[in-house]
Structure 1
Amino acid sequence: MEKAAIEVDLQHNTNKMHWLLLTLVFYSGVRAGEIARQTSDYGKRIVTPGLFWRQFREDGDCLLLTVTGKRNKTRTISLDPETSAVLLDYRGDASNDQPVFPSPSRRDRGKPLSDRGLRLMMAEISASAGIKFSAHFLRHTHATLAKKNGASDFDLQADLGHASPATTAKYIHHVGRVGTSHALRKKSKHR
């Protein structure tokens, strides 16, 4: 997927924007609606403003990303040093008031990427990779692999912004699950 994102960036001359979007969504687990500008009421009312550089702050070799999620709940996600480094490199001298992912459309020039624009970028990467996926798929993959690599349920719930552990459990796909039949067979072999 990374290779496909890089290829799409080369085709569109988008300065690693596709690759960085893929990287940020995968390594942070953010919702698409937390980083893309969303509008409703036929474009008259902005629901979420999009992602700006002011939402990042440095903490040692890591960046902390503050996003507003569902029900207007704000949370802060600590990014790993590698993701932080590529974000800082991409930022260059951009001010805090500039969008991280500026819209490529002429009509929305200077505004953050829209939710539609984000979906289109993910679709381009998906088509180039030959694998069907979305930003939400990357969120599920983030949760599954983080759990598989030792993240606690509490940390996953906090980073994903879930109110309930039951919701987080839906994101963790068959990690370490062996089922009850395995436990029963083990017990009966020891009799």
Structure 2
Amino acid sequence: MSTVPYLKENSLVYHHEAQDMKDNDSRIIRMFLSSCNLSTNTVRNYLRAIDRFRAFVAYKPLSKVSWREIEAFKACLIAGGYSYSELPLAPASVAAYIAPLKSLYKWGSDANIALFPHNPTTSVRLPAVPVTSKRRYLTKSEVGKLLLCLKKQGIRNYLIGLSLVMLGTRVSELVSITTADFYPDPEDRGIWLSVKHSKGGKDREIKVPSELWELFKSYIGSYVQSAGASQERRLFPLSTRQVERIISDAGKRSAIRKRPSPHWLRHTNATLALLNGASLQQVQETLGHSHINTTQRYMHTVEQIKKAAPDFVQDCLHEYIWK
């Protein structure tokens, strides 16, 4: 009879210890996220990935995790774990779950932090992510059709489309723009847009073309006056999903065979800029890429569009081509 209270007491102690370990790991995760200076969207994605991994290992202490658990989690994702359709996840989706874990353990195992005895992710490789931007762009005429459809829907939708394709912003950056984010350069020759806390927690500046700025000025004047709003109100108080729907619906209505998205317009910005003489560095700064290699991918598309091998052969055999 005396063993029952003893067992209950041990169970209670075990429960408290397990809860303490969970709480300790939660504190570590909060410290990690606060040290990374990430955007709100990135923090949300990191938390989702880390929480799902913790559930996968049954909340085993993060300090006790080995490479086996990481690889098992990766194998589960590849097989379709955490996929609503139960189909295998794309390499990019798998990488989006594993990358935050690699960052967490690299940070926590640093000798100056030493929250983890070792980094179990050093031998874990991210799946190769194919380049998908090669044909995910709109041609000049397709952009025209899309913008014409958006213009018929009203100045707000038209300005959303123009901003995405001319400034190359991410949709999350677009919906965060306020009237206070525009400012003139020192010589009043142009207007710039300050993009704050973008991907990676970085800020950047984008030059606003003059014709686009004239539309912005008109829109800001009517918008602020009608809303009775302060000068720091969001220009497009929409969710990212709403903007995606606006672009998608306009693509269908404009009879474009492609299915454009805000990110397609970002690809279009880079492709058209490089085709018309912009340097890689200029495109990198506008898009906010951390590494020039990311921007370099667009050059493959541009080089193919400008002149491919068959064009050189045609030039050589031009005199023998009869029409």
Give 1:163's match in structure 2, choosing from 285, 290, 302: 290
Give 2:240's match in structure 1, choosing from 115, 133, 150: 115
1:65 counterpart letter in structure 2: L
Consecutive unaligned residues of structure 1, counting only runs of 5 or more, are 10-15, 37-49, 102-111, 184-191
Instruction: Report 1:9-28 matches (<5 A).
Output: 9=154, 16-28=155-167
What is the distance in 1 between the residues matched to 2:284 and 2:206?
A: 11
Q: CA deviation at 1:79?
A: 1.0
What is the distance in 2 between the residues matched to 1:87 and 1:165?
A: 30
| Rg comparison, structure with higher value | 2
Q: State the partner residue of 1:57.
A: 183
Q: CA deviation at 1:127?
A: 1.9
1:167 counterpart letter in structure 2: T
Q: Is 1:83 aligned with 2:228?
A: no
What is the distance in 2 between the residues matched to 1:79 and 1:164?
A: 23
Q: CA deviation at 1:96?
A: 2.0
Q: State the partner residue of 2:62.
A: none
SS in 1 for 2:303: coil
Rate the CA distance shift 1:61–1:2 in 2: closer, same or farther, 3 A.
farther
Rate the CA distance shift 1:129–1:62 in 2: closer, same or farther, 3 A.
farther
What is the distance in 2 between the residues matched to 1:28 and 1:170?
A: 19
SS in 1 for 2:235: coil
SS in 1 for 2:278: coil
Rate the CA distance shift 1:144–1:134 in 2: closer, same or farther, 3 A.
same
Consecutive unaligned residues of structure 2, counting only runs of 5 or more, are 1-145, 225-229, 313-323
Q: CA deviation at 1:182?
A: 8.7
Q: State the partner residue of 2:221.
A: 92
Rate the CA distance shift 1:127–1:61 in 2: closer, same or farther, 3 A.
farther
What is the distance in 2 between the residues matched to 1:3 and 1:182?
A: 33
Q: TM-score, normalised by structure 1?
A: 0.73
Which structure has the higher relative contact order (CA within 8 Å, separation 6+)? Answer: 1
Rate the CA distance shift 1:182–1:130 in 2: closer, same or farther, 3 A.
closer
Q: State the partner residue of 2:273.
A: 146
What is the distance in 2 between the residues matched to 1:162 and 1:74?
A: 11
Rate the CA distance shift 1:61–1:122 in 2: closer, same or farther, 3 A.
farther
**Amino-acid identity (%):** 29
Q: Is 1:66 aligned with 2:194?
A: yes
What is the distance in 2 between the residues matched to 1:156 and 1:100?
A: 24
What is the distance in 2 between the residues matched to 1:167 and 1:157?
A: 8
Q: CA deviation at 1:129?
A: 1.1
1:82 counterpart letter in structure 2: E
SS in 2 for 1:175: helix
Q: State the partner residue of 2:23.
A: none
RMSD: 2.3
SS in 2 for 1:20: helix
| Number of residue pairs the alignment of both structures matches | 156
What is the distance in 1 between the residues matched to 2:262 and 2:191?
A: 21
Q: Greater share of helix residues, 1 or 2?
A: 2
What is the distance in 2 between the residues matched to 1:173 and 1:25?
A: 22
Q: TM-score, normalised by structure 2?
A: 0.45
SS in 1 for 2:301: coil
SS in 2 for 1:66: strand
What is the distance in 1 between the residues matched to 2:299 and 2:263?
A: 13
Give 2:251's match in structure 1, choosing from 126, 142, 152: 126
Deviations 1:121-166 (A, max 9, x none): 1122112212220111111111011001110111111110001111
